[in-house]
Amino acid sequence: MRQVSISDYVRMVTVSQARREPQQADAGVIMLTPDEQLQFWRALAEAQEPTPAQRELGAIIRGAK
């Protein structure tokens, strides 16, 4: 449709997205696709108990160890 090679198209899309990433990070915004939003929601809704290693890491971060 754009009359460019596949590699040029991929490069255009990738560079464009890469330029937006720092702007979104500075704004504190995370952009998710609809599929990513669903995965994120499911991860929050179906939270699992932390593993022993995760508990230990949490204690280290809180300064309890």
The set of residues, in sequence order, having a beta carbon less than 8 Å from that of 24 and lying 6+ positions away, is 30, 31
Structure-token match 């699992």, residue found = 48
The DSSP H or E segment spanning 43 is: helix 34-45
Whether residue 5 is found in the same domain as residue 20: yes
How many structural domains compose the chain? 2
Rounded distance, CA 32 to CA 37, Å?
6
Residue 16 has pLDDT above 90, yes or no: no
Rounded distance between C-alpha atoms, residue 8 and residue 4, angstroms:
6
Residue 59 and residue 44 share a domain: yes
Residues 63 and 46 in one domain: yes
Percent of the chain with pLDDT over 90: 43
Confidence (pTM)? 0.40
Higher pLDDT, 25 or 56: 56
Can you tell me the mean pLDDT for 20-32?
82
